[in-house]
Amino acid sequence: MTDKKGIKRRDFLKLSSTAVFAGLTGRLTGKPHTGISTAAYTIEEAARAVGELPRVKLGASGREVSFIIGSGDLAEAPREAGILCGMNYWHKANRWARTGVPDSILKNREAHYCQVTVDRVEGDHYVGRIDEEEHYQFVKEMVRQTGLGYFDDMQFHFGYHSTEELKSERGFVRAFERLKKQGLVKHLCLSQHGYAGNSRVPGGQSAAEVLTAVVEDGVYEHAQFMYSYGADPEMDKFLEFARKKGFGTTAMKTARGIGRMKKDQAFIDKLPEGVTPHNALMRWLTTQSQVDTVVMRVRNLNEFVESYSGAGKTLRPKDAQAIRMMTAQADKTACRLCTQCQPHCPQQIPIAEILRFERYAVDDHDWRKARDLYARLDRKADACVQCGTCVSHCSQGLLIPDRIAAAHALLG
């Protein structure tokens, strides 16, 4: 069972380079409703406003990991504030090969879990291949370039296409085992996307199908996948199964549709007083969902305080009301990326991928990434013949032809 208790104050103070937490009395300031704070926080003030991040046990190793995990591409200020709050797991830590490992992590290496994220070779996550030797050499090189000495976790990025591939392609696992013998990695994990109905991935299956097989396979310790608020029976079933088996789970792409909601002032004005979408979501994820840890993207200290200050806090009735309102709103506008519609499209349009890229643009404001990824698709939304078949397979009842046409207009 996951332990969502906060870390002890004594341990917490040890993690902090300065005792900024003497009195965790920080207060979220700023405009009510929008959550866009006008306060200019220092790193210490932001950390004080968020306080101790709850810790959980992740996977069979029982390692105690901050509920919110960080990433190698997190901006410096929220990263340093996160460290002061006890953030101790770093996804994509090999990104620091380019920029240098932050001193605050390098000087306290044993207090942090650093993950190397490994892609397929000779192609992208649709058509690239698994290659034991190349993965082995890549990780060795990343250990050398970062100077971290070893990686705690080796992650297979984007995951397996199908349960069949998991069984037959063991090159990634073999590369891990070789590196583990040399003390260069310790734990095996993956991030899993859904490939059901993807025209570039024959025989592709949903993330939940592959993840269930991964847990049964017993080699991987934990996994990261798309999950957010609102009904998701397939992933909820998987989460229950994972928890029973002691398999660790991390939710990513958690803030479904919140970016666009914040631009809709009429919607924001209807939210209960003193509630912001990211903060309510963090409360919900920490206290009501079955995930062990989450990735929630923040760009600056204001977003850090707004979002992360909800971690471990009670979901008040007004937060629950906000989550219900957000769900109703997001279900009309923002795809949850489950891929259930895709196998039913006669044109084999990668609906979930298109709507994932649209989320990068509209919610995360990452237009360049969204347009680059969209340009690389071999089949785009303009191949849609408006047959409507997909709509009845979307649990959200999303008007898919309209949504992908809008995405094409934005990204095409």
Shortest CB 253 distance to ligand SF4, Å: 12
State the Cα–Cα distance between residues 384 and 348, nearest whole angstrom: 9
Give which of 146, 298, 126, 267 is closest to 198, Cα–Cα: 126
Distance of CA 80 to the CA centre of its chain: 19
Structural tokens at position 138: 């890549």
Alpha helices in 85-170 (DSSP H): 96-99, 103-106, 132-146, 163-168
State the Cα–Cα distance between residues 298 and 68, nearest whole angstrom: 11
Residue 196 in the binding site for ligand SF4 (CB under 6 A) = no
Shortest CB 346 distance to ligand SF4, Å: 6
Residue 191 in the binding site for ligand SF4 (CB under 6 A) = no
Structural tokens at position 64: 């105690």
Residue closer to ligand SF4 by CB (options 49, 341) is: 341
Residue 139 in the binding site for ligand SF4 (CB under 6 A) = no
Other Cβ atoms less than 10 A from the Cβ of 299: the count is 14
Residue closer to ligand SF4 by CB (options 130, 338) is: 338
Shortest CB 345 distance to ligand SF4, Å: 3
Shortest CB 365 distance to ligand SF4, Å: 21
User: Angle 282-20-298 (CA atoms, 0-180°, nearest 5)?
Assistant: 30
Residue closer to ligand SF4 by CB (options 318, 393) is: 393
State the Cα–Cα distance between residues 311 and 181, nearest whole angstrom: 37
Residue 286 in the binding site for ligand SF4 (CB under 6 A) = no
Contacts with ligand SF4, 322-361, as mask; x by CB under 6 A: -------------xxxxxxx---x-x-x-xx--x------
Other Cβ atoms less than 10 A from the Cβ of 270: the count is 12
Residues in 387-406 at the binding interface with ligand SF4, rule: CB under 6 A: 387-390, 393-394, 396, 398, 400-401
Shortest CB 291 distance to ligand SF4, Å: 18
Residue 199 in the binding site for ligand SF4 (CB under 6 A) = no
Single-letter amino acid code for the residue at 347:
Q
Binding site for ligand SF4 (CB under 6 A): 335-341, 345, 347, 349, 351-352, 355, 384-390, 393-394, 396, 398, 400-401
